[in-house]
Structure 1
Amino acid sequence: MSFSLAIVVPAYNEAQVIGSFHARLGAVLDGIDASARVVYIDDGSSDDTWPMLGAIAAQDARVEALRLSRNFGKEAAMTAGLDAVDADAVVVIDADLQDPPELIPELIARWLDGHDVVYATRAERAGETRTKKITSAAFYRLMERLSDTPLPRDTGDFRLLSRRAVEALRGLRERQRFMKGLFAWIGYRQTAVTYYRDARYAGTTKWNYWRLTNLAVEGITSFSTAPLRAATWLGVSAAALAFLYGVWVLLKALVWGDPVRGYPTLMVVILFLGGAQLLALGVIGEYVGRTYAESKRRPLYYIESRHGGLLRSADRAPPRTPD
């Protein structure tokens, strides 16, 4: 069976690994009976990633690359890659070689069985600290409970998408993007392939705990209103406790009198209620901020330059949904 295959590879400051990655990816594509193309998206790298992609594109006719006008983030870079491709099957994979390109034939086999999304689930995560493994596992299990669209556990962005799955994703143009959630939200037939994730081949990770925390907040607020509901129940609980305590103070004054004591207790109550109110306002502020960002309807990315023969569709502004 002959089909077209596109590989979308977001990259940010991956000069130390991009050559080795493409060598392994090229060897895999040589063994696949498909019309293949590779689309690299340089997300505003500050190292030699872009010149190296130019050299790779000059040597391999299957390679096309586009450079974003600045660092828009991985979610926008993946979106740019999905906007640029036109293929029967599309594989999204990182360039750091933690996700092995050699798994692509197995993803294709599952797709040929009739699945629209074949995601790679990590059985083991080599080269990561125990803290990172624990927090990552906790995040996926938290999202499983909070979101109306449960995310597959221990699953990153490495996956294969059918043509209709890619078309569905192109219609989702929200600015606050959490791609793992969007991949799950579109539905269709989805299945998993389990693999052992390798340690980073070279270079350093771009995902520190601060950026991972922001991504977690993005995912929770994008696919769940549970924090708002929790803030509501926190307010109700605080009000109920304050009312019960007020009744207790009144009864105590009526039965035993009130010798003008209780300043520490008063401060505890004030601080508790004030903290609950500020927490609720902070949660509401997160959602209001995201609504404000969406209302501006800015483009998700801009393309600065390109190597290779990218489809002209990449030049066009992304489709906009009606107001």
Structure 2
Amino acid sequence: MMKLAIAVPCYNEQEVLDETNNRLTQLIDRLLDQGKVNPDSRIYYIDDGSTDRTWDIIENLSKHQPSVTGIKLSRNVGHQHALLAGLLTAEGDAIVSIDADLQDDVSVIEQMVDDFNLRKVQIVYGVRKQRNSDSFFKRTTADLFYKVLRLMGGEIIQHHADFRLMGRPAIEGLREFNEVNLFLRGIIPLLGFKSSIVYYDRTARFAGTSKYPFKKMLALALNGITSFSVVPLRMITALGFVVFLLSAVMGIWVLTNALLTDAMVPGWASTILPIYFLGGIQVLCIGVLGEYIGKIYKETKQRPRYFIEKTTD
């Protein structure tokens, strides 16, 4: 029987953590009764520098339940790095990653385990059937993000976040990726192992507030696009060429009118508007270049992505 590990990144999740643990514990007990996992299966809670009672709750759960392990990071490093810490630290033949907010359907993990055991699948993606629980704005921006990333050559699973099962070979493959600018949704498909998809309905948070406001969502989307595609840089080249052609055509038109007609009327618009236009294009291009240079700067320093302060084992 397989040894299952469930990695749960946590940041200020004191309101929901007890219920999350109840549901995950019940799931493991059910899988044990069915003979699908072995008794050494565990739940790993990764505290990402929480400022509330999250770590105290994790320690208490670990004291009373041998199947629970707590991992405390030295500071808040962000969801992606906290999740990576759990994936690379947890022990098991397969590791399921799931957020603590209970929006993902815990019962679907059983189907993931079946795919791993019976179909010998190394990566099982949890994919939302629909996004009715999201606001219109969030649905629209999410769809736009997936379309833009695929258009730019990124490999990503539509409506998949970080709810997935990964076998040990896939985890060891992930260990070889050393980049600091993490976007796991884009990295995992690059591993190339046999994969499958399970669909589920996503619900509202059981308790607490979202840890991914619009600002963080926008930063994650920008990181995903610039970490997996050089298309924005090529778009700058194409844009420069188009502006050059337009400028050349405008120059020919102005010269022709000046030499052959008396229709040219001196004015500020013909001078100011091109300056503002070209200036805006230049600032935009510099911004895109700066984003890539910033990523190069972070990668070349090769700083550690996280530090584990302590564990409950």
TM-score bracket for this pair, using the shorter chain length:
over 0.9
What's the offset of the Cα at 1:259? 5.6
Determine the structure 2 residue equivalent to 1:136: 142
Q: Distance in 2 between matches of 1:276 and 1:251?
A: 27
Tell me the secondary structure at the aligned position of residue 96 of structure 1.
Answer: coil
Determine the structure 1 residue equivalent to 2:53: 48
Residue 282 (structure 1) aligned with residue 282 (structure 2): no
Determine the structure 2 residue equivalent to 1:9: 8
Residue 180 (structure 1) aligned with residue 169 (structure 2): no
1:124 paired residue among 125, 130, 145: 130
TM-score by length of 2: 0.95
More off after superposition, 248-257 vs 137-146: 137-146
Percent identity reads: 38
Q: Distance in 2 between matches of 1:101 and 1:77?
A: 20
Q: Is the 8 A contact 2:257 2:264 kept in 1?
A: no
Q: Distance in 2 between matches of 1:8 and 1:194?
A: 20
Tell me the secondary structure at the aligned position of residue 115 of structure 1.
Answer: coil
Q: Distance in 1 between matches of 2:148 and 2:263?
A: 47
Superposed CA offset, 1:132-186 (max 9, x none): 1111121112212212x42010011000001100000011110000010111111
TM-score by length of 1: 0.92
Q: Is the 8 A contact 1:82 1:170 kept in 2?
A: no
Superposed CA offset, 1:204-236 (max 9, x none): 001111110000000000001111111111111
Matched ranges for 1:151-230 at <5 A: 151-230=156-235
Runs of 4+ aligned residues of structure 1 deviating over 6 Å after TM superposition are: none
What's the offset of the Cα at 1:257? 4.0
Matched ranges for 1:245-264 at <5 A: 245-257=250-262, 261-264=266-269
Q: In structure 1, give the amino acid aligned to 2:6.
A: I
Q: Distance in 1 between matches of 2:231 and 2:196?
A: 27
Determine the structure 2 residue equivalent to 1:29: 28
Residue 114 (structure 1) aligned with residue 120 (structure 2): yes
What's the offset of the Cα at 1:128? 2.2
Q: In structure 2, give the amino acid aligned to 1:182.
A: I
What's the offset of the Cα at 1:83? 1.5
Q: Is the 8 A contact 1:126 1:199 kept in 2?
A: no
Q: Is the 8 A contact 2:133 2:203 kept in 1?
A: yes
What's the offset of the Cα at 1:306? 1.9
Q: In structure 1, give the amino acid aligned to 2:121.
A: H
Determine the structure 2 residue equivalent to 1:18: 17
RMSD: 1.2
What's the offset of the Cα at 1:126? 4.9
